[in-house]
Amino acid sequence: MSEFSTAYQTDYSAWAQRQAELLRAGRYAELDVEHLLEELGDMSKSDRRELESRLLILLAHLLKWEYQYPLLSGRWREFDGRSWRTTIIEQRTRLAKLLKQSPGLKTLLSEAITAAYADAIQLASDETGLALDTFPSDCLYTLEQLLDKAYYPASRTPTSKS
């Protein structure tokens, strides 16, 4: 096992700092290329996981807003959806920041929305008690709507599709 492999396994911070020093000095032949490639690949996976996670939460809350809000606000006058609004705002803000920091993720948005939507339906169903078939099987929100700070779907009373 090389000195770098040992450092990578035992003191990641020191390993990363040393790799940065070597890069700055242009000493490319001394780099731990194998582990650098692994780390770069993991960073990309991590960004994609964060993108899908934020979309999942955003989509679930938009679905709850659209399908459960009318039920709750009708039963409890004081229910105004404030906590859902806060979560929607936070997810949109964090998505915008993530896309600004990693603009390459924009090319994955359509695919990430599709991947997150099925899980969002399940989460919305689990959290609301509404049947899965209450929600559309395909995401009806456009990318523009998802990222638009002013967009909240019109509330509709859920009906089973059976």
* pLDDT tens readout for residues 106-134: 999 999 999 999 999 999 999 988 999 99
pLDDT tens, position by position, 73-114: 555 555 556 788 899 999 999 999 999 998 989 999 999 999
pTM (2 d.p.):
0.72
Residue 73's pLDDT is 52
Give the span between the Cα atoms of 62 and 68, in whole angstroms: 10
What's residue 136's pLDDT?
95
Give the model's pLDDT for residue 144: 94
Number of other residues whose CB lies within 10 A of the CB of residue 52: 18
Taking residues 45-50, what's their average pLDDT?
88
What does pLDDT average to over the chain? 85
* Look-up of token digits 């996670």: 53
What pLDDT is recorded for position 156?
A: 62
Domain coordinates in residue numbering, the chain: 1-31, 44-147
Q: Taking the chain, what is the end-to-end CA distance rounded to the nearest angstrom?
A: 62
At residue 72 the predicted structure's pLDDT band, cuts being 50, 70 and 90, is low
Check whether 63 has a pLDDT greater than 70. yes
54 backbone dihedrals φ, ψ, rounded to 5°: -65, -40
Here the tokens at position 89 are 């705002």
pLDDT at 80: 59
**pLDDT beyond 90 at 65:** no
Residue 8: is its pLDDT beyond 50?
yes
